[in-house]
């Protein structure tokens, strides 16, 4: 990686920062500078028509039917239902329905533009960005030490996975080795996190299909896991616990009993859900054959995780590219056949059981030792040394104020989050802040695949399909 031609080399000056965009200073020099940036890519070229139109209000909304080349890509899902009208309707009979961004069953601030022909959805366009937080820009201003604080807020249902992906990427640039206990703690926390995330999915899937009691059950069982997280990390969500170099602290005393209790309670809960759902005619009718996506469409659209597995792709990053020593534990990768909402339900429920199995194995085989690397470049000196040595105190202070330097290079590291492939692409220029951090988030692809799943199905299936994708909008918009 050392003699790569394209790796950032040379000494960069800090980019000249203009004052932040303030609409009221339209006539000032700052506005002029912004105008220049804006014109940079159109300068000297004939401005094409579509460029002129992209600033129009509503440019992100659905295109006119005849000018929509993406339409053919999104079609192709066959759903058999008696109610679906086969003949395309006249334009006069189509109506546009706007769903969201503030809607109870879009799981956040997702907005869908629907073109309806009676009860049948003809076209869908997801409009996103209502939760755009600029995290990729913020990441460039934070040190690697602070970086996991930032990324953990992206996918707020699986914060540990975000932190793990970020830490693995930084560690692969650093070449750091994590001790076995640190890795086992990571596996323990991420797998528990997978369970808690799937419990929220079960809760919302149930609620959206009318089983409101499922909401109460799901959050009840999730609370046990969150209480354990709070005991370990100090926070219920957004933990900033898995950091480059290991984890922030060792597990608290008595964690074995807590985990044991969680496994027992959640296993009991899961069998309750199965009892509630499996034979439930309403749930079956509303999920079987709904929101179908084929394996080919999954590959082309980058759909991963439980949705791809439900359509029959036997693929799990934990098996294919094992990380954090997860290949030491035995687990199965469940797959479905039909790629519909029902199969996704079965796959996720099975994943919860498999994750609990991994947690049980970690519980039984937790190795002793250090929970973080002893590389003093990355890890602060132990508390005891700070009391004794001035150098250790300075070292500690330097590490937390200016961070550590990471060798120049770029890396892509992916983990299997509850939603699918969660990748972190980091470009380092050899300083203590990333030059560029990009998160490849699974929900982004899943929202993109919504038209494929929904086209030519019924309006009532929208909520079932969205809920089965389990999108987290913080994950989509970042």
Partner 1 sequence: MAHRSGPSGFLLTTYESAINWTRTRSMWAATFGLACCAIEMMATGAAHNDLARFGMEVFRASPRQADLMVVAGRVSQKMAPVLRQVYDQMSEPKWVISMGACASSGGMFNNYALVQGVDEVVPVDVYVPGCPPGPQSLLHGILTLQDKVMSGEITR
Partner 2 sequence: MSALESLADAYPDLVFEHVLDPPQSVAHVPADAYLDFVANARAAGFDVFVDLCGVDYLRRDPRFEVVVNLLSYDPPARLRIRVGVAADDPVLPTLTETFPGANFYEREAFDLFGIVFAGHPDLTRIVLPDDWEGHPLRKDYSVGSVPVRFKESPKAQ
From partner 2, partner 1, none, which one binds at residue 238 (CB under 5 to 8 Å depending on kind)? partner 1
> Which of 103, 319, 395, 431: binder of partner 1 (CB under 8 A)?
103
Pick what 419 binds: partner 1, partner 2, none; C-beta below 5 to 8 Å, kind-dependent. Answer: none
> Could you count the other beta carbons within 10 Å of the beta carbon of residue 288?
13
Q: Which of partner 2, partner 1, none does 101 bind, CB closer than 5 to 8 A by kind?
A: partner 1
Residue 195 or 293: the one with the smaller Cβ distance to partner 1 is 195
What sign has the CA pseudo-torsion 207, 211, 215, 218? Answer: negative
Backbone angles phi, psi at 96, to 5 degrees: -95, 130
- 477 contacts partner 1 (rule: CB under 8 A): yes
Q: How far apart are CA 266 and CA 351, in angstroms?
A: 13
| Residue 410, φ and ψ in degrees, nearest 5 | -140, 150
With CB under 8 A as the rule, give the number of residues binding partner 1. Answer: 37
Half-sphere exposure of 197 (CA within 13 A, CB side): 29
Q: Which of 88, 129, 234, 407 binds partner 1 (CB under 8 A)?
A: 129
By CB under 8 A, tell whether 435 contacts partner 1: no
97 binding partner 1? (CB under 8 A)? no
CB 71, min distance to partner 2, A? 9
Pairs from 445-448 (Cβ < 8 Å, separation ≥ 24): 445/301, 445/302, 445/303, 445/304, 445/420, 446/303, 446/307, 446/419, 446/420, 446/470, 446/471, 447/110, 447/126, 447/128, 447/471, 447/476, 448/126, 448/301, 448/302
**Cβ-based neighbours of 186, under 8 Å, separated by 6 or more:** 160, 164, 178, 242, 247, 324
For residue 22, the minimal CB distance to partner 1 (Å) is 11
Residue 322 neighbours by CB distance under 10 Å: 14
**473 is a site residue for partner 1 (CB under 8 A):** yes
With CB under 8 A as the contact rule, the residue among 2, 6, 17, 21 that binds partner 1 is 21
> Choosing among partner 2, partner 1, none, which partner's interface includes residue 149 (Cβ < 5 to 8 Å by kind)?
partner 1
User: Which residue pairs, CB below 8 angstroms and at least 24 apart, start in 217-223?
Assistant: 217/269, 217/272, 217/273, 217/276, 218/273, 220/269, 221/265, 221/266, 221/269, 222/196
Binding site partner of 69, from partner 1, partner 2, none, Cβ cut-off 5-8 A by kind? partner 2
CB nearer to partner 2: give 146 or 280: 146
DSSP output for 148-185 = HHHHTTTSTTSHHHHHHHHHHHHHHHHTPPPPHHHHHH
Q: How far is residue 181's CA from residue 201's CA, in Å, rounded to a whole number?
A: 30
Q: How far is the CB of 74 from partner 2 (least distance, A)?
A: 8
Q: State which residue, 220 or 268, has the beta carbon closest to partner 1.
A: 220
Mapped onto helix, strand or coil, the DSSP state of residue 117 is strand
Shortest Cβ 393–partner 2 spacing (Å): 29
User: Closest distance between partner 2 and the C-beta of residue 161, in Å?
Assistant: 16
Taking the least distance from each CB to partner 2, the nearer of 42 and 460 is 42
Decide: 304 and 315 in contact? Cβ < 8 Å: yes
In the list partner 2, partner 1, none, the entry touching 56 (Cβ below 5 to 8 angstroms by class) is: partner 2
Applying CB under 8 A, does 470 fall inside the site for partner 1? no
Shortest CB 323 distance to partner 2, Å:
8
Task: State phi, psi for 115 to the nearest 5 degrees.
Answer: -110, 115
Question: Using CB under 8 A, which of 68, 219, 250, 267 touches partner 1?
Answer: 219
Residue 224 CB, nearest approach to partner 1 (Å): 9
Output 67-70 pairs: Cβ under 8 A, ≥24 positions apart: 68/123
Stretch that binds partner 1, among 9-17, 177-185, 397-405, 469-477 (CB under 8 A): 469-477
The answer to whether the beta carbons of residues 237 and 222 sit under 8 Å apart is: no
Record the tokens describing residue 467, joined without a space. 């809920």
The item of partner 2, partner 1, none sharing an interface with residue 200, based on CB under 5 to 8 Å by kind, is: partner 1
- Minimum distance of partner 2 from residue 298's CB (angstroms): 8
From 38, 52, 220, 268, residue interacting with partner 1 (rule: CB under 8 A): 220
Q: Which does 119 bind (CB under 5 to 8 A by kind): partner 2, partner 1, none?
A: none
Alpha carbon distance 478, 473 (integer Å): 8
Pairing of strands 94-99, 111-117: antiparallel
Closest separation between CB of residue 263 and partner 1, Å? 19
Of all helices (H) and strands (E), which one includes residue 440? strand 434-440
Identify the residue whose tokens are 């150098």: 391
299 binds, among partner 2, partner 1, none (CB under 5 to 8 A by kind): partner 2
Question: Residue 217 or 331: which CB sits closer to partner 1?
Answer: 217
Report DSSP letters for 295-323, one per residue.
Answer: HHHHHHHT--HHHHHHTT----HHHHS--
Q: With contacts defined by CB under 8 A, name the span among 97-105, 267-275, 321-329, 411-419 that binds partner 1.
A: 97-105
Span 154-213, contacts to partner 1 by CB under 8 A:
156-157, 200, 203
Q: Footprint of partner 1 on this chain (CB under 8 A)?
A: 20-21, 101-104, 108-109, 129-135, 137-138, 149-150, 153, 156-157, 200, 203, 215-216, 219-220, 222-223, 226, 236-238, 473-474, 477
């Amino acid at each position: 990686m050392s003699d790569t031609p394209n790796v950032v080399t040379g000494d960069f000056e800090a980019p000249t920062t203009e004052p932040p965009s303030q609409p009221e200073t339209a006539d000032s020099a700052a506005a002029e500078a912004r105008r220049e940036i804006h014109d940079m890519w159109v300068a000297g070229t004939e401005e094409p028509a579509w460029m002129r139109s992209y600033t129009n209000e509503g440019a992100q909304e659905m295109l006119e039917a005849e000018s929509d080349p993406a339409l053919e890509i999104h079609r192709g899902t066959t759903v058999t239902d008696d109610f679906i009208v086969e003949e395309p309707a006249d334009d006069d009979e189509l109506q546009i329905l706007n769903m969201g961004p503030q809607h109870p069953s879009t799981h956040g601030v997702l907005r869908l533009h629907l073109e309806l022909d009676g009860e049948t959805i003809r076209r869908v366009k997801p409009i996103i960005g209502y939760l755009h937080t600029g995290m990729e820009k913020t990441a460039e201003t934070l040190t690697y030490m602070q970086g996991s604080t930032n990324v953990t807020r992206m996918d707020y249902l699986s914060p540990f996975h975000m932190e793990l992906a970020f830490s693995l990427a930084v560690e692969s640039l650093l070449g750091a080795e994590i001790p076995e206990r640190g890795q086992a703690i990571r596996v323990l926390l991420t797998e528990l996190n997978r369970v808690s995330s799937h419990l929220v999915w079960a809760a919302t899937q149930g609620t959206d299909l009318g089983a409101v009691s499922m909401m109460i059950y799901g959050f009840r069982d999730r609370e046990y896991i969150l209480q354990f997280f709070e005991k370990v990390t100090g926070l219920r969500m957004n933990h900033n616990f898995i950091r480059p170099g290991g984890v922030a602290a060792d597990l608290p005393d008595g964690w074995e009993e807590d985990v044991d209790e969680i496994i027992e309670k959640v296993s009991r809960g899961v069998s309750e859900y199965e009892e509630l759902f499996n034979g439930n005619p309403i749930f079956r009718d509303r999920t079987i054959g709904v929101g179908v996506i084929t394996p080919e469409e999954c590959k082309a659209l980058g759909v991963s995780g439980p949705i791809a597995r439900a359509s029959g792709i036997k693929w799990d990053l934990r098996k294919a590219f094992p990380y954090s020593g997860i290949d030491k534990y035995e687990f199965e990768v469940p797959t479905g056949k039909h790629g519909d909402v029902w199969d996704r339900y079965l796959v996720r429920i099975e994943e919860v059981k498999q994750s609990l199995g991994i947690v049980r194995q970690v519980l039984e085989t937790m190795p002793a030792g250090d929970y973080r690397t002893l590389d003093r470049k990355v890890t602060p000196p132990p508390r005891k040394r700070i009391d004794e040595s001035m150098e250790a105190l300075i070292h500690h202070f330097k590490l937390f104020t200016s961070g550590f330097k990471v060798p120049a290079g770029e890396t892509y590291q992916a983990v299997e989050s509850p939603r699918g492939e969660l990748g972190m692409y980091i470009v380092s220029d050899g300083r203590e802040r990333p030059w560029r951090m990009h998160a490849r988030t699974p929900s982004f692809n899943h929202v993109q695949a919504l038209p494929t799943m929904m086209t030519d199905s019924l309006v009532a299936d929208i909520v079932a399909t969205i809920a089965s994708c389990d999108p987290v909008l913080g994950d989509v918009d970042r």
